[in-house]
Amino acid sequence: MKIFIDSADLEEIRKACEWGIIEGATTNPSLIKKAVEKMGRKISMEDYIKEILRTVPGPVSLEVIAVKAEEMIEQAKALYKKFSPYGEVVIKIPVNPSLSEGDGLDFDGLKAIRRLSREGIPVNCTLVMSPEQAILAAKAGATYVSPFAGRIDDYIRIKMGMKIGIDFRKEDYFDPILLNKIVDFKISEQLSNYSSIAEAYKSQDMRKLVQMIQDNGIISGVDLVAKIVKIFRIYGFKTQVIASSIRNARQVREVAETGVDIVTIPFEVLREMVRHQKTLEGMRDFMADVVSQYREIFEQR
């Protein structure tokens, strides 16, 4: 499994690359906005992106900002031509760029992916929220698909009536196993109210309860990644899966357990991954126990 950094902040990217564990980076317009706001001064976006490309030892995803296939293809080619001399450019295309129901743009992402892939431009298909979308992106020829694990967790929390950031903070772990157990318990409590299994199965209350804790059969962001990985392996799809929208260290471990190809991780989560209170405690103990005889070995030149 490769680790990418999910950031457009050059300072973060530089630091993480110095740690020697980064093999790529993913950006998006929101991450670029965050980086620009942090800089607090006018910067040449072009020079800034060139520097990101020079820093990262692997593919860097840059996103288009159009929604129609032809315009996305044009922008993708411009980005690819301008920045390829500085590093490995991958173009991010949304799986479905539609901004409102019925605007007729549902398939423009796939059309753009198909054309760009045929012309040898690698595409990272972004905003993937279902295995169904991932299958279409792979069929269109995407080099990568990016399922957004954290956003699916948020979506399920909202369906349950939880407010993001209050019931669970962003960095908290969202536990679908606990939720499923609660629902199992609720269902077994209610079963005696029905005269037959069929009646219980058809009950709207039962259905609502189950649907609340999932998104069309997907029970968490990690589950979304796991299902995509499974389908791609069954059919031998070449498209690589990038677990995205990662919110905490445990989520990284759980997507790693799915056999995902790549995980793109925000800087803060990388920091969380390397920390453990027992490691800190152990370090303090070892340092306090250093005897002078042992220290002398290091002092001899």
Binding site for ligand E4P (CB under 6 A): 6, 26, 28, 31, 126, 146, 148, 150-151, 244-245, 264
Identify which of residues 5 and 206 has a Cβ nearer to ligand E4P in the complex: 5
Closest approach of ligand E4P to the CB of residue 33, in Å: 11
Which residues are identified as catalytic? 92
**Do the Cβ atoms of 167 and 157 come closer than 8 Å?**
yes
Identify which of residues 93 and 121 has a Cβ nearer to ligand E4P in the complex: 93
Apex 296 CA angle, 295 and 299, nearest 5: 100
Closest approach of ligand E4P to the CB of residue 298, in Å: 43
Identify which of residues 5 and 121 has a Cβ nearer to ligand E4P in the complex: 5
Residue listed under structure tokens 């152990």: 282
Q: How many CB atoms lie within 10 A of CB 17?
A: 18
Does residue 269 sit in helix, strand or coil? helix
Closest approach of ligand E4P to the CB of residue 124, in Å: 7
Using CA atoms, how far residue 135 sits from 63, 96, 234, 249, in Å, is: 20, 13, 12, 27
Tally of CA atoms within 13 A in the half-sphere of 233 that contains its CB: 10
Closest approach of ligand E4P to the CB of residue 245, in Å: 3
Q: Are strands 25-26 and 2-6 parallel, antiparallel or unpaired?
A: parallel
Identify which of residues 73 and 125 has a Cβ nearer to ligand E4P in the complex: 125
Identify which of residues 206 and 221 has a Cβ nearer to ligand E4P in the complex: 221
Does residue 297 sit in helix, strand or coil? helix
The first and second tokens of residue 297, run together, are: 């070995």
Based on DSSP, count helices (H) and strands (E) in the chain, helices before strands: 15, 8
- End-to-end CA distance of the chain: give it in Å, rounded: 41
The first and second tokens of residue 217, run together, are: 């059969």
Closest approach of ligand E4P to the CB of residue 259, in Å: 19
